[in-house]
Amino acid sequence: MRDSVSTVAAFCSGLAGGAALLAAFQHLARRRALESTRPLDVQDPEAIRHPAAALTELLVRYHENLQRRDPHRGEPGSSSYAIRSKVKPGELRAQLPTACPEDPQSYADIFRDVEQLIFPALTHWASPNFHAYFKICGSDPSVLADYLCSSLDVVGFSWVSAPAATELEQVVCDWMAKLLGLPECFLTSSSGGGVIQGSASESALCALIAARHAALEGLEGTEREEKAAKLVVYVSDQTHAIAEKGCMVLDIPHLRVVPTIRGKADSDNYGLAPDDVARAMAEDRAKGLVPFCLMPTLGTTSTTAIDPLRKLVAVAREQPEHVWVHLDGAYGGAAAVPLGRRFRALKLWFTFRRFGATGLRAHIRQSVALARQAEELLEKDGRFKLFVRARMGLVCFYVTFGGRELNEALLRRVNESGKAFLIHSVVDGVHFLRLAIGGLEVDTWHIENVVNVLSEALTDVIDENPKWQELQRETFASAA
């Protein structure tokens, strides 16, 4: 462009009225340069209509594929996607350009690549056969609210920047507090009030910041630094890694992990015993340390153990220090509507209004019922044993013979089949498999299907190994 302008300038300088002609040309050049940097379609609201419809159709096909059923038997059919993606590390990257495209591309091209490249490289959380991690339970109102949130494009860092975002967040957090039966002090109208955070790790980090502020309030200089170096956070050996991450980010030097014993504080599970916490705090105090934060859990990740909150709060109140108690919702928190700064309150508002408290309760109860169904089917097989009884929607089980080696082989076979996806955990030295139930799309036939997948995979694995065949015969012979 610069060379073109110079050429025209030289040409125009020899003409009558050349200066005016040159000025007009330069204005046109600047205008075209500006237009070339303007975002596409920003002045055309209609530009989104057809791509949005095409994207909706793409997503409908995707979910229909994941939830495909046999039309004759009403049972799950075979999705064209393996639940856990079979791509190798770097495989997707190798199929994508190494640099941003220079020219705009059509939505049709983009959506085609989503379907052909992105979808096959996903682990499909939305599948009814996904039972590995705790599901987010995405729903239609949540998806639509996210669309609206992105379209409004507001940032709610203060009331004046987005009044509706600020006040709707207060409203839905109060709704949540009332649904959970929390006391008045947790409502916006009192000294409390909820705030939607971006993640569980962010929530734990904020809680630790508040706890540390309370512990060090009024102290300055050397005195503050000395006390900060003595602060101790208390968790159980079942607490999620968010506690450790929060301590690392905030440079909190002491994280006391209190061991759990099955059945001591939570019937048939690994809850945090209040007397063990009190003893740990007393021991640390005797060493000159300062207990300042206790993080019990409502539904631990491995086995959904529920720590005895009332008794643990009583222990915290008995301490001479100001011990802050932060309850980690963990899996139990997933039974509530997940809070996830954009205009995120819209997702909560849509979901509350679309499902109502009745619908939310029904979904939670359905997950519990499906977990019980899975337990019954696994026990009926005879080769599986429950590690702990199901709490909410997590079923923990293992093969009764063959030890860790056979359980790992079974898990590997199931996941490699692409028909289901589970993960394992190790608690108290026991290696077991986890069947996490909770998606909106999961129904009774999906539970029957995943147990059948497990049973058939176990049979195949045993048939391939004489050692396990012999162990199976010995196990059932002794049981008889």
Contact indicator for 162, 168 with CB cutoff of 8 Å: no
- For position 34, what pLDDT does the model report? 47
- Reference 401, options 455, 469, 480; nearest CA is 469
List the single range of 40-49, 91-100, 349-358 with lowest mean pLDDT.
40-49
Q: What is the pLDDT of residues 346-400, one digit of tens each?
A: 677 767 877 888 888 888 899 999 999 999 999 999 999 999 999 889 999 999 9
Mean pLDDT in residue range 400-407: 95
Task: Compute the mean pLDDT over every residue in the chain, rounded to the nearest whole number.
Answer: 84
Least confident of 34-43, 174-183, 190-199, 431-440: 34-43
Strands 430-436 and 423-427: antiparallel
Q: Which helix (H) or strand (E) holds 234?
A: strand 231-236
Q: What is the mean pLDDT of residues 146-169?
A: 85
Q: What are phi and psi for residue 370, nearest 5 degrees?
A: -65, -35
pLDDT surpasses 60 at 329: yes
Whole-model pTM: value is: 0.71
User: Cα(first)–Cα(last) distance of the chain, in Å?
Assistant: 90
pLDDT surpassing 50 at residue 2: no
The neighbouring-strand residues paired with 384 are 399
Instruction: Delineate the domains of the chain, giving CATH numbers in brackets.
Output: 46-96+105-124 (no CATH), 150-325 (3.40.640.10), 361-478 (3.90.1150.10)
